[in-house]
Structure formats: C-alpha cells, structure tokens
Structure 1
Amino acid sequence: MPTQQLDYFTSLVTEDEHFPLTEAAVAVAQHAYPDLDVQGVLDQIDQLASKLRTRISPDTTPIQRLQILKHFFYTELGFGPNPNDFYAPENSYLHQIIENRRGIPISLAILMMELGQQIGLNIRGVSFPNHFMMRISLQQGEIIMDPLTGDSLSKNQLQEMLDPYLDAKGYRGELSLPLNLFLRASSPREILSRFLRNLKMIYSEDERWERLLGIQERLVILLPESVEEIRDRGLIFAQLEYVRPALADMQRYLSEAPGAEDASEIREHIATLEGQTKLH
C-alpha cells in the first residue's frame, strides 16, 4: 500500500472545517490508478467551471444559475447514469466520469456541487436511502434534485422512494419516521464515507481483495472513531493472508468493543490466524 498516497489522503480529510470534498473524492481513485494526476483532474473540472462562468453575469438570479448549470451539465456535456453497467467501479472514479460522462448519483452530485459552488450556488448532498440526492436552497424554497437527471422531486415522489426502505427496516406504522429526517444536508465527511462504502460494496461482492483493501484503508483514515472499519480491514487482511496486520486489527476491535454481537466470531478468526502463524 503506497504510504505516500495514504498520507496525502489523510492530509485532505483530517479537519472538518476545511474539507476539500472534490479533491478527496478524486484522490480515492489513486488506490486503483497509482499514477493518477489528481491536480490534473481538478484542473479539468476548473476548465468546465470557467466555461460555465462565461454564461453567468452578476445579475443572473440563483434560479437562472441553476437552470444554466443543469443545461450545461446534462444536455451539453451529457452527464448521466450508466444503465449498462451501473455497478462498475469506474462509475465512482471522478476522472473516469469526466471522460465517459457516466456515473452513479453520488459521484455525479459531487461534480454538480463543485460546479455549482464555482458559480455561487450552494448545492448540498443528501444521503437519502438507496439514492443520493442534492438539495438547493432558493428564495422560492428548497429543491431536492436527482443527480442522475437534474429532475426536481416532489414530496410525494420522495415518500414513494422512501417507503420500501422504511418497510424493509420495519419503520412503519407507529414507528414511522418523517420524510424530512432523510432530507437533511450531509457533511462532506458523511458524503465521502458513503462514496467509499459504495466502492467497498462493489469490491466485496466481486471479492477483489487488494482493491477492497485500498478502499478500506481510506475508510479507517476517514472514520478514525469507527472500530467496525478497523475490524473490516482486519478481515480483508486475513483474506490476503497478511496475518500480522489482520490479528492486530481484530484484537484492537475486541479490546474496544468487547461486547460486540460478532465478538465470538472474531475470536474464532483470531484463533484460526494464530494457528496459521504457529504452523509457519
């Protein structure tokens, strides 16, 4: 694992106050593309923003700015979903998305938010269940927008999208949770953790352990308080037969969460790994 790249990523995500979400999201791809020129990708985004700014004047209202941004992003540049291969990891890597114009909701939203910011619009991300959204505050009110299409969604449409999630979690009837709870703006750290967890899911399902480790290392850095992420890194180390770091992570997990539901399972993993080290 190139420590230089991890040190760079660490430097980006240490503070919440100055959290360069776009740069950090671009930098995530360095685990899979070690020679990626992060600054070069940021320059490409800035070039798009410069082109966009030529269409804006000081008296362009926020709602007009939003319409100009949407037309530029979806119609002119042709950004949108990748219906043929929605779960390809490339749909999460910003440098690939800029090239192919295809992404998933969260990756497209990060680009839209960056371009919006550069023309004076405050577009924020919303970690809506199963589909990342964008939120824009205008004089006319709050708009919730689908990053795949730029469509504004009504309360009824959002509720319809939310209901299957509430059903699956058992949050219906007396326990029903209000829609607004799911529409709050997410912090850059929350957005990046969801961004990374999408990739974690993709690489886990494909059992691409080396790639998965690159993502998991970054989750541990991003969420230093989360012992579950340390446990997961240990389990990935074990898959790759990196026995010592696997043991260190799992033991740390048990020491910090001795009453965890999966504690006995993790102890079994540790016993197996310790048995392996004795055989050597």
Structure 2
Amino acid sequence: MNYFSDINFSKSTILESVLFCLKKIKDNFCKKKVFSNLKYKLKEAENYISHEENSINKLNKLLELFYFHWNFREIEGKYNLSDVLWMDKVLKTCQGTAISLGVILLHFANKLKIPLNPVIFPTQFILRADFLNKKTVLINPFNGDILNHNILELWLKGNISSSAVLYKKYLEISQSKDIFKKILNTLKSALMEENKIFLALKVSNVLLKFYPNDPYEIRDRGLIYSQLECYSLAVKDFSYFIHKCPDDPISEIINLKIKSIKKKIHTIH
C-alpha cells in the first residue's frame, strides 16, 4: 500500500497532512520533537480557553495565546521563501507567512472545535470563522487582526487592479486538499529558485502521488529534470503536458524547451 494513502483530508488537519509528507522529504525532519511540541501546545491551549463557554470567546482567547503568548509572527529580515514553508521550522521559530501561520492556527482551532476555516483570497491566505448567530469574522493570519470588507477591497485594488471588486466568491471556504497542494507547490517553486533541485524533485514526487495525471505537476517535474540534466525524462514530461494542454499558451514555450533539449542531446552524442 502507498504510504500516502494514510492521509485522510477529512480527518487530518492540513498541518498534520503537510508534516506527514515533510518527514518523507526532509532527511533531518524530527517527527518525535515536532509532534511532541504540538501536543504540548494543544494542552496549553485547552487550559487557556477552558473557562470560555461560547465559540467567539474561545477564538479570541486562542488568538491571544497564539500571537501574544506564543509570539507567532511574520518573519523578519532576509530569508529564503522555503524557510517559512518548512512547517517544522515555522513551529520552532514561530515565524512564517500568512499560509504557514494560518495552517498552524487552523490546527489548534480544529482540535479545540472552534469553527475556523481557510480561504485562498486573491492576495493572500486568510481565515474565516462562522458562528451560530450568523456572524462571520475574517482574520489576517500574519497578526490575528480582524479584517473588514474595506480592507480586503483595498488589498485587491493595491495588488491586482485599481478597478478590482470584492466578490463574494473570494471569501468562500477553500478545501483542505487545495491548501495542502498550494503549500507544497509554493515550497517546490521556492526550492527551485533557491537551486535546491533534489529537494524540489522530492516535493514534486510527493505531489504526483496525490495528482498522478495532473499535466501541470508533470510539467513542473519536467522543469526539475531539465535542471538536473535528465533530458530524456524532461522531454517525456514536457511532451505529456503539450499533449494534454495543447491550447495552453505556455505549451509553445515548453515546445521550444523540447527542441533545445534535443539539440543538447544530439550535441552530446
């Protein structure tokens, strides 16, 4: 049986799923230490919110604990993007990005039965809490601040277009599997940019365990193979992508890559 079949996105938190995969990718991943840290923090969180009776108060106490006592925060100074996506490292340093911090906060909310959910907003990852009184609270995972529609619309106008509009669909709850995929894809891209190609290939292979026929995942693996000078494997992956996505504008670029690689192979021989 494939060890990735052990992951059940309906029963595991996103953090647990990502950590499960990271231990297959990172040679120095310390499973015992990471999960012991999570268990200790969960016990502390349970005690911290134990006197609160309603979900809104429980969420407020969790945010207080997470950002002010545990001091989770946006990473400071110069850093590699992968530094804030290795979730074991984020748990150790308490510094991360919106998505890494958000996924950790979601983990504790899930364990504490607090109704917090992920949202892939166009400009950054955010969190949304829906309560029984139909009150919805939107949260910035960088610092725990409450977001309103005016702020979100400003984000859109400042990052996408001055004519951008805040549509209701932008605030819809995202699926756990989509968040999981986004984290690993971002990590893969970061490792490629940092020239950590073998690690990027390991991340790519993990993603292909979940999405074995995804032409975009196969295309990315082809790019990694080409950087590793595994040219025949790269051509095979690129050809698959072109066959599956002939109308994608990037297919023309990939086709040029295939021709360039074939020239290299011909020159070598």
Q: TM-score, normalised by structure 2?
A: 0.87
Given that residues 71 and 94 in structure 2 are in contact (C-alpha distance below 8 angstroms), is that contact kept between their aligned partners in structure 1? yes
Structure 2 counterpart of 1:27, from 20, 24, 28: 20
Query: Are the counterparts in 2 of residues 12 and 19 from structure 1 also a CA contact under 8 Å?
Result: no
Q: Does residue 117 in structure 1 map to residue 117 in structure 2?
A: no
Distance 1:106 1:84 in 2: 18
Q: Please identify, of 29-38 and 250-259, the stretch whose mean Cα deviation from structure 2 is larger.
A: 29-38
Superposition deviation, residue 29 in structure 1: 3.2
What residue is the counterpart of 1:68 in the other structure?
Answer: 61
Alignment identity in percent? 21
> Is the 8 Å Cα contact of residues 209 and 236 (structure 1) preserved in structure 2?
yes
Q: Do the aligned residues in 1 keep the contact of 2:120 with 2:170 (CA within 8 Å)?
A: yes
Change (3 A) 1:16 1:68: closer
Instruction: Give 3-state SS (helix, strand or coil) of 2:229's partner.
Output: coil
With 203-212 and 69-78 compared, the bigger mean Cα shift is at: 203-212
**Residues 31 and 215 in structure 1, CA contact (< 8 A), matched pair in contact too:** no
Name which of structure 1's ranges 107-116 and 255-264 shifts more when overlaid on structure 2.
255-264
User: How far did 1:159 drift?
Assistant: 1.0
Paired residue for 2:239, among 236, 245, 251? 251
Secondary structure of the residue aligned to 2:147 is coil
Q: 2:137 aligns with which of 136, 143, 157?
A: 143
Task: Say if 2:221 is the partner of 1:233.
Answer: yes
How far the C-alpha of 1:135 sits from its partner, in A, is 0.5
After superposing the two structures, state which structure 1 stretch, 262-271 or 156-165, moved more: 262-271
Deviates more, 1:147-156 or 1:200-209: 200-209
8 Å CA contact 1:105, 1:132 repeated in 2:
yes
Q: Which runs of 5+ in 1 are unaligned?
A: none
Could you tell me how far apart the structure 2 residues matched to 1:108 and 1:207 are?
25
Match of 1:160 in 2: 154
Secondary structure in structure 2 of the residue aligned to 1:167: coil
Counterpart CA distance in 2 for 1:258 and 1:252 is 10
In the alignment, is the contact (CA less than 8 A) between 1:238 and 1:246 conserved in 2? yes
Distance 2:171 2:32 in 1: 32
Q: Matches of 1:105 and 1:46 in 2, distance apart?
A: 22
Q: Does residue 242 in structure 1 map to residue 236 in structure 2?
A: no
Unaligned runs of 5+ in 2: none
**Whole-angstrom CA distance in 1 between matches of 2:145 and 2:227:** 42
1:97 match? 90
Q: 1:129 to 1:272 in 2, by over 3 A?
A: same
Q: How many angstroms does 1:56 deviate by?
A: 3.5
CA drift at 1:260 = 2.9
Query: Do 2:156 and 2:166's aligned partners in 1 also have CA atoms closer than 8 Å?
Result: no
Relative to 1, partners in 2 of residues 1:142 and 1:232: Cα closer, same or farther, differing over 3 Å? same
Structure 1 residues 96, 42: closer, same or farther in 2, change over 3 A?
A: same
Q: Which region of structure 1 is more displaced relative to structure 2, 218-227 or 232-241? A: 218-227
Task: State the 1:204 CA deviation.
Answer: 3.5
Could you tell me how far 1:59 is from its partner in structure 2? 6.0
Residues 71 and 59 (structure 1 numbering): CA distance in 2 closer, same or farther, change over 3 Å? closer
TM-score, length-scaled by structure 1: 0.84
Query: Could you say if the C-alpha distance between residues 12 and 124 of structure 1 is closer, same or farther in structure 2, counting changes exceeding 3 Å?
Result: farther
- When residues 263 and 90 of structure 1 are mapped into structure 2, their CA distance, relative to the original with a 3 A threshold, is closer
Of residues 184, 187, 196, the one that matches 1:196 is: 184
What is the RMSD computed on CA atoms of the aligned residues?
A: 2.6
Q: Deviations over 1:232-254 (max 9, x none)?
A: 21011011111232122112112
Match of 1:38 in 2: 31
Structure 1 partner of 2:257: 269
1:77/1:101 contact within 8 Å kept: yes
Q: Distance in 2 between matches of 1:37 and 1:83?
A: 25
- 8 Å CA contact 1:212–1:236 kept in 2: the answer is yes
Partner Cα distance (2:47, 2:150) in 1: 37
Amino acid at match of 1:33: K
Q: 1:215 aligns with which of 203, 213, 221?
A: 203
